[in-house]
Structure 1
Amino acid sequence: MHSYCASIFLIPTGIMKKVDSICRNFLWGGKDAYLRSPNVSWGTCCSPMEEGGLGLQNASHWNKALIGKYTSWLATKKDHVWVKWVNHVYKKAGYHWLRTQTVKVPWRFLCWNNLNVPKHSFIFWVSQHYKLLTLDRMARMGLGSITTCFICGLEDESHAHLFYNCVYSKKCVGLLQDKLQMIFPADNMVKWYSLGRGRSGLQRIFTGACFVGLTYAIWNARNHARLYSHIIAPWVLVNHICKDIKLRFELRNKSPLKQYDKDWIDNMSKALI
């Protein structure tokens, strides 16, 4: 409905801001009304995925890009093939010209892996912008004074500590490495993912999806510890991650597997005890 109206009228900026506001509120709160401050700015959310955004559209910029097609219609007949090509290409280019373009992020392929569970990708995306509400960030915002990690209780909680340095996360990474039968650097998974480390393409994609799932699971375990003062066992966490990714793969895969990939997946899916 928005695209149709936006392609006919130049809609007032106030209305477009309201449309953006509704979309933003729904993304971060599940409702059209404002419930809490967003973790990541709307400008970043409207950037393409390769630039670290979610690929959403800024309503005002999109409206102007769609209206721009009338310029070509004034020059010649709108049913001309060349005009159709200009309309198709430059309408999209006009939108990107209006928005602020940034550099492509190196973790885009890891974040938007087809095997990722969507909620895993979203939490991983927020974590890559360092916008999760960790205790150190909440303290800087004046929302609390406690900064000690809820899980280990040894150091201050930050993105770096929670996902890479905490003894709990290190244990989870070690168990996941055992399950996947490979060693990868938790603090530089992007480099490992791009190089492949001699593994098949399927195993590399599988590993990337499990790693993104681990980021989600650690964040979920942290919130569980905060709310219920109970720490989920690392092996339970890793079992659930591998089970979820294997199930998603089985639902999406339509091609026959090579025997070594099949054996690897079967061995990976065995439960840890």
Structure 2
Amino acid sequence: MVLWNKAALLKQLWAFYFKQDKLWVRWVHAYYINRGAIDTVTINSNTSWLLRKILDSRELLRDICGWEEVSNTQKFSIKKAYNHLQEGFDRVSWRRLICNNQATPKSKFILWMALLNRLATTDRISKWKRDCNTLCKLCGVQEESVQHLFFECEYSKSIWNAVLQYIELSPVNTAVGELRRVVQKARSKRSKDKLFVMLYTESLYAIWLQRNSKHSKDSILSPHAVIKEVIFKVACNCNENDRCRLLLV
């Protein structure tokens, strides 16, 4: 968002430089720039906060070596400006899993955190030099990690296996294997593949909620109750045709 805001400020600065036929731009030229140059106009106490931010972006323009880097056929391209400010970050392989996903926003956020390995599982918390029990909150047998929590814990495995059985798929039982499969299906436009992506996302979120409930309240739902909640959420967020397909499975 910070980079996108900088790109948007550059777009406003572009309008000032090339005097686009907009009332606000003409007003700024008449009362602030006053026949001067954008490069030399000074910022004083009378300059509004918004105008000050736009004029401050002149330094950013110098850093990116002029308008040629962010223009497209003599028009400002906010997309090129944003990409230029990003400095060419590589695309992740699972981007379609987040973008082409009809699951609830909260579940997609937890999925995104899990993909980045940023969830506060006990194996990560222990690395912050905090004394804590590193065993899984759900089963209490092995160290809690993203791999174990969602795909190796007996409680989570029972939920995930039942969800896969519901849509007639066999389990892979490893985080890497399931991620590879769901990433591949996220590229598909088939209704069954879309349902699988949604079920994958909502299942991870449901397991995470039960993990937190066990930690804070020492209570969890039965796997059967969790599965019913997952299917209900997916049915509420998919279109009518996919809902019928889900209920008929």
- What TM-score do you get using the length of structure 2 for normalisation? 0.69
After superposition, what is the alpha-carbon deviation per residue over 1:1-33, rounded to whole angstroms, capped at 9, x for unaligned?
A: xxxxxxxxxxxxxxxxxxxxxxxxxxxxxxxxx
Q: Identify the residue that residue 142 of structure 2 maps to in structure 1.
A: 155
Q: How far 1:99 sits from its partner (Å)?
A: 2.5
Q: Indicate which of 95, 98, 105 corresponds to 1:108.
A: 95
Matches within 5 A, 1:87-236: 87-89=75-77, 91-185=78-172, 187=175, 188-193=177-182, 195-196=184-185, 201-236=190-225
State which of 227, 235, 249 in structure 2 corresponds to 1:246: 235
Instruction: Note the C-alpha offset of 1:72.
Output: 6.2
Structure 2 segments unaligned to the other structure (5+ residues): 23-70
Distance in 1 (alpha carbons) for counterparts of 2:160 and 2:138: 15
- Which residue is equivalent to 1:271? none
Task: Show the counterpart of 2:11.
Answer: 66
User: Per the alignment, in what secondary structure is the counterpart of residue 209 of structure 2?
Assistant: helix
* Pairwise CA distance, 1:88: 4.2
Q: How far apart are the structure 2 equivalents of 1:67 and 1:195? A: 40
For 2:247, the equivalent position in structure 1 comes to 266
> 2:7 touches 2:82 (CA, 8 Å); kept in 1?
yes
Deviations 1:27-79 (A, max 9, x none): xxxxxxxxxxxxxxxxxxxxxxxxxxxxx3436633553245248617xx769
Cα distance per residue 1:117-152 (max 9 Å; x no partner): 111101100111000111111111123321111110
May I ask how many residue pairs the two structures share in their alignment?
197
Q: Give the residue type in structure 1 aligned to 2:194.
A: I
The Cα shift of 1:185 comes to 2.9
Q: What displacement does 1:87 show?
A: 2.9
On the 8 A contact 2:138/2:211 being kept in 1, the answer is yes
Q: Which moved more, 1:92-101 or 1:187-196?
A: 187-196
Runs of 4+ in 1 over 6 A off after TM superposition: none
Asked if the contact 2:107–2:205 (Cα under 8 Å) also holds between the matched residues in 1, the reply is: yes
Distance 2:229 2:243 in 1: 19
1:182 deviates by 1.6
Indicate the residue corresponding to 2:41 in structure 1: none
1:245 is aligned with what amino acid?
V
CA distance in 1, matches of 2:11, 2:74: 12
Measure the CA separation in 1 of the matches of 2:243 and 2:202.
Answer: 21
Looking at structure 2, the residues matched to 84 and 149 of structure 1 have their Cα atoms a distance apart, in angstroms, of 53
Is the Cα–Cα contact under 8 Å of residues 155 and 223 in structure 2 kept in the other structure? yes
Unaligned runs of 5+ in 1: 1-55, 269-273
| Percent of aligned pairs with the same amino acid | 20
- 1:47 match: none
RMSD over aligned CA atoms reads: 2.8
Change (3 A) 1:177 1:60: closer
Question: Alpha carbons of 1:207 and 1:59: their partners in 2 closer, same or farther (altered >3 Å)?
Answer: closer
Check whether the contact 2:161–2:171 (CA below 8 A) recurs between aligned residues: no
Distance 1:84-1:138 versus aligned 2 partners, 3 A rule: closer
The equivalent of 2:64 in structure 1 is: none
